[in-house]
A = this chain, B = another copy of it.
């Protein structure tokens, strides 16, 4: 898998059903992989309470999933349960850890030590499970030299050396959006092949590089959508009948919108919330 830039694909957190890397190669569906960490967390909690075995029903409840789904997920890893008894907690912890690659050490670099980068550096979930912060990097000379979570913030120029010498393959981007693609390119060039992107930017990477994104703003907007639905959902705010009207009506409306042109005119074609339902219609079809 060459690191060159043959066919840059910009897939963030690959959608289910999308053209995916054959993670299916040895058979584990992507949806299952995404749930394994959840199971692992629940199992670890059970393990700490010295619970020896657990049924799929109990574990599923703890992880917030359907028990049949959980059993099917485990079946992809092999048959680690005992009928009539359940699953051996310790053994399952080990098997899932191994499958996820957590039995090895994963050095990680964090690029962009602002508020968020600082918070992540201190995040407890980092140190655990084989993840280790190899270095904190930033381009701002005012930040370089300070320390966060006991680690010194080093300059971006040291990136290549750090990645190479410490065999870093995972990078976390917490820069402002404008710098994200540039930082991403540099990470990839240095040899990083997995990137967790917190910047609100669509990253383009070569094949063979995985990108997952975490985006607060998007999550909030999705919540807002559902929230609006719950609250009665004003159906006919802007346009209404025009939307699905077949025939030349739609075309005329679209033409008008385009003719309105620059953003100064937005208020005209997009009445703020409570405009009459047929403001546009009257413009299209004068009585």
* Interface stretch of the complex, out of A82-90, A136-144, A152-160, A182-190: A82-90
A5 adjacent to chain B (CB < 8 Å): no
A41 to B102, CA, bound (A): 35
Complex contact B226–A82 (CB within 8 A)? no
A255 adjacent to chain B (CB < 8 Å): yes
Complex contact B222–A33 (CB within 8 A)? yes
Name the B residues within 8 Å of A82 (CB-CB). Answer: 251, 254-255, 258
Residues 119-155 of A contacting B (Cβ, < 8 Å): 119-120, 122-123, 125-126, 128-131
Task: Mark each residue of chain A from 1 to 39: 1 if its CB lies under 8 Å from any CB of chain B, else 0.
Answer: 100000000111001101001010110000101101110
Would A258 and B52 be within 8 Å (CB), given that A218-B37, A230-B1 are in contact?
A: yes
A-B complex: 4 closest residue pairs judged by Cβ atoms: A78-B243, A101-B228, A125-B217, A94-B270
A77 (CB) vs chain B CBs: closest residue? B243
Would A258 and B53 be within 8 Å (CB), given that A90-B270, A128-B217 are in contact?
A: yes
A260 (CB) vs chain B CBs: closest residue? B90
Complex contact B85–A216 (CB within 8 A)? no
Q: Point out residues on A near B: beta carbons under 8 Å.
A: 1, 10-12, 15-16, 18, 21, 23, 25-26, 31, 33-34, 36-38, 40-42, 47, 50, 52-53, 61-66, 77-82, 85, 88, 90-91, 94-95, 98-104, 106, 108, 114-116, 118-120, 122-123, 125-126, 128-131, 169-170, 193-196, 200, 202, 204, 208, 210, 212, 214-231, 233, 235, 237-239, 242-244, 250-251, 254-255, 257-258, 260-263, 265-266, 269-270, 272-273
Name the B residues within 8 Å of A99 (CB-CB). Answer: 225
Name the B residues within 8 Å of A64 (CB-CB). Answer: 10-12, 202, 204
Please tell me how many copies of the chain the complex holds. Answer: 2
Would A200 and B119 be within 8 Å (CB), given that A169-B227, A226-B210, A255-B82 are in contact?
A: no
Complex contact A212–B222 (CB within 8 A)? yes
Name the B residues within 8 Å of A62 (CB-CB). Answer: 202
Complex contact B119–A202 (CB within 8 A)? no
A80 to B208, CA, bound (A): 36
Nearest chain B CB to A201 CB, angstrom units:
9
Would A216 and B219 be within 8 Å (CB), given that A62-B202, A119-B115, A254-B81 are in contact?
A: no
Nearest chain B CB to A91 CB, angstrom units:
5
Nearest chain B CB to A168 CB, angstrom units:
11
Complex contact A226–B270 (CB within 8 A)? no
Name the B residues within 8 Å of A85 (CB-CB). Answer: 254, 258
Complex contact B223–A210 (CB within 8 A)? yes
Name the B residues within 8 Å of A119 (CB-CB). Answer: 114-116, 118-119
Complex contact A90–B266 (CB within 8 A)? yes
22 contacts between A and B (CB under 8 A): A10-B64, A18-B66, A23-B226, A26-B233, A34-B218, A37-B217, A37-B218, A47-B263, A52-B261, A63-B202, A78-B242, A78-B243, A88-B257, A91-B257, A99-B225, A100-B225, A104-B273, A108-B220, A116-B123, A125-B215, A126-B216, A210-B226
